[in-house]
């Protein structure tokens, strides 16, 4: 039984999430508090019916098997809390998820929280308050910090989600921007990015083209060492194939991308201070 799941499954249920079962091979028939444990996902489906979401906290090399098992049983939303999932396993999982139209959050994600309603993952609920502001990030602790600051200022949140910070991710800023843009409980979107990669530049372009709600973008990392490249090789190559400049992945590049979107009424960009 994985300690992370053992610790957080009862917390999710106590928060109000409808946690119907836990999967712990070899512990089928046991209880985790009042949560029944099963050996396989298909046994849960046979016992309780359709499952909407699976929160996966297993060790990195077991994530692919756990995800495929859930998908085989009809689960179409996966939250991958585990850090360090092998990249090739994620490539395989994303390919399978596209075929089955499964939404994958993570890996290395604290999950999703709808303050006062639902917790799927390891967010610390005390930082959040119900409201109408949606928050999307790449970094778990940054999510908590921003949510705490918003709550302190009386700005409650509708949905807070971190897409994760591993090398290969299951879902993108664009997918969650679309979800929040269509969510009737969200009036304004806050997107918190960081240096490295091209996620934020792609998100800025998507905001310009497809998002109707106001978006405030924050980029962390302006004070990172200038002589150390933190982005990945793909971002460097991609920068030479676009008009975004050779500094794609830097804080300056990301802020500039959001400012371009803001100039067309799509987003307001902030750097860190």
Using one digit for the tens of pLDDT, what is the confidence trace for 187-237? 999 999 988 888 999 999 999 999 999 999 999 876 666 555 444 444 444
Distance of alpha carbon 224 from alpha carbon 209, whole angstroms:
30
CATH number for the domain spanning 30: value is: 3.40.50.720
* pLDDT given at position 267: 58
Q: Are residues 139 and 234 in the same domain?
A: yes
Does residue 71 surpass a pLDDT of 50?
Answer: yes
Average pLDDT score over residue span 111-127: 98
Q: Are residues 76 and 128 in the same domain?
A: no
Phi, psi angle pair for 251, to nearest 5°: -60, -40
Does residue 67 surpass a pLDDT of 70?
Answer: yes
Does residue 243 surpass a pLDDT of 50?
Answer: no
* pLDDT given at position 253: 82
User: Do residues 198 and 249 lie in contact, with contact meaning Cβ atoms separated by under 8 Å?
Assistant: yes
* pLDDT given at position 268: 56
Q: How confident is the model at residue 254 (pLDDT cuts 50, 70, 90)?
A: confident
Average pLDDT score over residue span 239-256: 64
Q: Are residues 47 and 137 in the same domain?
A: no
Q: Are residues 156 and 266 in the same domain?
A: yes
What is the total count of domains within the chain?
Answer: 2
Q: Are residues 116 and 239 in the same domain?
A: yes
Nearest to 68 by CA among 37, 92, 44, 39: 92
Q: Are residues 132 and 246 in the same domain?
A: yes
Q: Are residues 93 and 117 in the same domain?
A: no
Average pLDDT score over residue span 144-159: 98
Q: How confident is the model at residue 240 (pLDDT cuts 50, 70, 90)?
A: very low
CATH number for the domain spanning 241: value is: 3.40.50.261
Q: How confident is the model at residue 10 (pLDDT cuts 50, 70, 90)?
A: very high
- Known catalytic membership, residue 232: yes
Q: Are residues 142 and 182 in the same domain?
A: yes
Three-state SS at 182:
helix
Whole-prediction pTM:
0.87
Average pLDDT score over residue span 103-110: 97
* pLDDT given at position 191: 97
Q: Are residues 144 and 101 in the same domain?
A: no
Extended strands (E) in 43-129: 54-56, 77-80, 103-105, 111-114, 118-121
Identify which has the larger pLDDT, 160 or 167.
Answer: 160
Nearest to 70 by CA among 33, 104, 117, 36: 104
User: Do residues 170 and 100 lie in contact, with contact meaning Cβ atoms separated by under 8 Å?
Assistant: no
* pLDDT given at position 271: 52
Mean pLDDT of the residues in the chain: 89
* Residue that terminates a domain, selected from 82, 105, 128: 105
Q: Are residues 119 and 229 in the same domain?
A: yes
* Residue that terminates a domain, selected from 81, 105, 129: 105
- Residues of the domain holding 250: 111-271
* Residue that terminates a domain, selected from 67, 84, 105: 105
Average pLDDT score over residue span 18-34: 96
Q: Are residues 127 and 58 in the same domain?
A: no
Average pLDDT score over residue span 237-266: 65
Q: Are residues 115 and 158 in the same domain?
A: yes
Catalytic residue selected from 72, 148, 222, 232: 232
């Amino acid at each position: 039984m994985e300690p992370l799941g053992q610790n957080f499954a009862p917390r999710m249920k106590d928060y109000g999430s409808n946690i119907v079962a836990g999967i712990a091979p070899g512990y089928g028939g046991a209880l985790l508090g009042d949560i029944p444990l099963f050996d396989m996902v298909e046994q849960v489906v046979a016992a309780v019916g359709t499952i909407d979401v699976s929160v996966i906290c297993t060790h990195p090399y077991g994530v692919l098997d756990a995800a495929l098992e859930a998908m085989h049983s009809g689960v179409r939303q996966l939250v991958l809390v585990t850090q360090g999932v092998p990249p090739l396993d994620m490539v395989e999982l994303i390919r399978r998820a596209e075929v089955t139209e499964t939404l994958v959050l993570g890996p290395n994600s604290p999950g999703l929280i709808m303050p006062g309603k639902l917790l799927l993952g390891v967010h610390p609920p005390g930082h959040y308050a119900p409201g109408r502001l949606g928050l999307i990030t790449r970094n778990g602790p940054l999510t908590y910090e921003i949510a705490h600051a918003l709550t302190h200022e009386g700005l409650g949140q509708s949905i807070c989600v971190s897409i994760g910070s591993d090398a290969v991710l299951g879902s993108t800023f664009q997918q969650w921007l679309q979800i929040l843009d269509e969510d009737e409980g969200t009036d304004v979107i806050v997107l918190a990015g960081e240096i490295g990669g091209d996620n934020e530049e792609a998100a800025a372009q998507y905001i310009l083209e497809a998002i109707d709600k106001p978006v405030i973008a924050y980029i962390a990392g302006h004070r990172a060492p200038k002589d150390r490249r933190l982005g990945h090789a793909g971002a460097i190559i991609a920068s030479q194939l676009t008009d975004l400049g050779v500094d794609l992945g830097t804080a300056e590049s990301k802020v500039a991308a959001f400012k371009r979107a803001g100039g067309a009424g799509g987003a307001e960009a902030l750097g860190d201070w």
